[in-house]
Amino acid sequence: MFFFDLSEPLIGTFLVSTFLKKPFPETIFGTYVENYQSNLNEVAHGGFLMAYDNNNIFAKILREEIPCKKIYEDDFVLSFYDINPQKKIHALVIPKGKFIDLDDFAINASNDEIVGLIKGINIVAKKLNISVDTGKGYRALANISEYGGQEVPHLHFHLFGGEKVGKMVQ
Ligand code: AMP
């Protein structure tokens, strides 16, 4: 028979966490994390509950708590220049909804939000004169989670252009 040892802290906490449908850390750290949790929205993510961090830097930009160099905005997206440009033109396009990454977005976004983001990328590329009709093309890139090298946990597409972008993976 398969047996879970609830006295083993990690397994016990995971099971309690799963049973209570609470994120893992909350059941580990108790009160401190309960306060911290008020900044988090749980989202189904690959079969697990993952938390969207309402205090990530792009969430703050969306709430206009910190400034950005805005390029474009509509009901679905906000676009602004990357603070640390890697190419002549380096823009970011983010959905307005609370999505951690592209997988979260694919699973949980509405069809309107998905269309809105893809259309938004094209609108921004046109505005920056890097789209295929207004310029010479560009690279759209989304880093996803740990192995993808994602630093900001709010889905974003990087748009690189204005010059030859170079090798895809360095
Ligand atoms: P990633 O590694 O894909 O998560 O990329 C995060 C990007 O966000 C990096 O290219 C950063 O330079 C950029 N970034 C971080 N903070 C800001 C900010 N306040 N305004 C604009 N871009 C930012």
Can you give the pTM of this predicted structure? 0.78
Whether 156 is a known active-site residue: answer: yes
Tokens standing for 144? 């996803």
Q: Is the CB of 71 under 6 A from ligand 1?
A: no
Can you give the pLDDT at residue 23? 46
Mean pLDDT calculated for residue range 57-72: 98
Going from the Cα of 152 to the center of ligand 1, the distance in angstroms, rounded, reads 7
Can you give the pLDDT at residue 141? 98
Can you give the pLDDT at residue 49? 66
The better pLDDT of the pair 61, 34 is held by: 61
Distance between CA atoms of 157 and 20, rounded to whole angstroms? 34
